[in-house]
Amino acid sequence: MTESRPHMVLNWHFDIPNQKLSVKITDDLSYEAINGGFDGFYKTYLGETTFIVGDPQDQWFAEKEWLSEHFGHIVGYFQLDWDRVIWNENDQREERCPMGVGPDGLYLDHMQRRQLLLNGKDQSLIGISPISDTLYSTIDNGKTIFKRVAHRNVRYPELRDSAWDHIKWHDHSQPCRQQPWSEGVKLSSYAEMRKDGMPEENVAACEKHSWADSPNPEFQQYYTYPTEDNT
């Protein structure tokens, strides 16, 4: 394989109310990831469903090679390189990206998702609570308020170091190998933000629906968000 070919990008959709993470390649081929792929994948191809082991990743890597061979013209090509390093302009640091580089020049994860999608850029950050460390965000200038709680139900290696015992991580925007049990965003409210110590000017701007636009609203198509009817 050559680096001149586009790297594989898979646009996984996270149905948050039903906690289903899936991607449709064609009418005849789709995948569903179990706990961010850590516990495997269900592949449905030509009406038949099979299971792909998630950890270790050998079977999933082999599946991405198969995808490259048969559907590379649709999704791009899996070009594994454990030595690949890029410069992350946003964070001003070098970053390993063995799974490939997205069309924006940034990291792709083991499920071939773009870094900005994983970073929750479908939403505009309102702020982080000084009381609970909960992260608040919005997709529509403050009309709808979402939250991502902070917790330790993760697989980060820092959990093995007592120096990190006080650290919590916000629920990831989509489940992944390090946060396989992430539930994504939950519905919140202006009242909850106020009770949680969020700055009044932030809450007031959201009430006026004048909070900042989402950095990457095009990523919103990859989510089914919770609503008052399904929370």
pLDDT at 3: 58
d(CA 179, CA 6): 27
| Torsion sign across C-alpha atoms 103, 107, 113, 114 | negative
Name the DSSP letter for residue 172.
P
Asked if residue 211 and residue 133 are part of one domain, the reply reads yes
Determine, yes or no, domain membership for 156: yes
Tokens of 212: 């900042």
pTM of the predicted protein model: 0.92
**CA-to-CA distance for 109 and 165, rounded, in angstroms?**
27
- Cα angle for residues 221, 224, 230 (degrees, 5° grid): 160
Cα–Cα distance list, 90 to 104, 107, 113, 138, 213 (Å): 12, 12, 17, 22, 19
**Among the listed residues 219, 205, 225, the one whose alpha carbon sits nearest the alpha carbon of residue 148:** 225
Q: Do 109 and 159 have their domain in common?
A: no
Secondary element (H or E) of residue 150:
strand 150-151
End residue of a domain, out of 91, 118, 145: 118
Assess if residue 90 is contained within a domain. yes
Q: How far apart are CA 109 and CA 115, in angstroms?
A: 7
Residues 109 and 129 in one domain: no
| 60, 23: one domain | yes
Residue 209 domain-assigned? yes
**For residue 100, which amino acid is it?**
G
Q: Are residues 193 and 104 in the same domain?
A: no
Of 89, 118, 147, the residue that ends a domain is: 118
DSSP label of 7: B
- Residues 179 and 84 placed together within one structural domain of the fold: no
pLDDT of residue 73: 96
Would you state the structure tokens that stand for residue 67, as one six-digit string? 């995808």
Rounded Cα distance between 141 and 126, Å, is: 10
Same domain, 51 and 84: yes
List the beta bridge partners of residue 223: 14
pLDDT on residue 169: 84
| Residue 97 and residue 153 share a domain | no
104 and 88 share one domain: yes
Number of domains in the chain: 2
Q: Within 13 A of 147's CA, how many CA atoms are on the CB side?
A: 18
Which of these three, 61, 91, 118, is where a domain ends?
118
- How many angstroms separate the CA atoms of 17 and 97, rounded? 31
Q: Would you write out the chain's pLDDT as a tens digit for each of its 231 residues?
A: 445 799 999 999 999 999 999 999 999 999 999 999 999 999 999 999 999 999 999 999 999 999 999 999 999 999 999 999 987 777 777 888 999 999 999 999 999 999 999 999 999 999 999 999 999 999 999 999 999 999 887 777 777 787 777 788 889 899 998 899 999 999 999 999 999 999 999 999 999 999 999 999 999 999 999 997 544
Give the β-pairing of 48-52 and 85-88: unpaired
| 142 and 111 in a common domain | no
Type of residue numbered 156:
Y
Q: Are 161 and 200 part of one and the same domain? A: yes
Parallel, antiparallel or unpaired: strands 223-224 and 150-151: unpaired
Question: By residue range, what is the domain housing residue 158?
Answer: 124-224
- Environment class of 217 (CB within 10 Å of its CB; exposed 0-12, middle 13-18, buried 19+): middle
Residue 6 lies in a domain: no
Predicted local distance difference test score (pLDDT) of residue 1: 42
Mark whether 45 and 108 lie in a shared domain.
yes
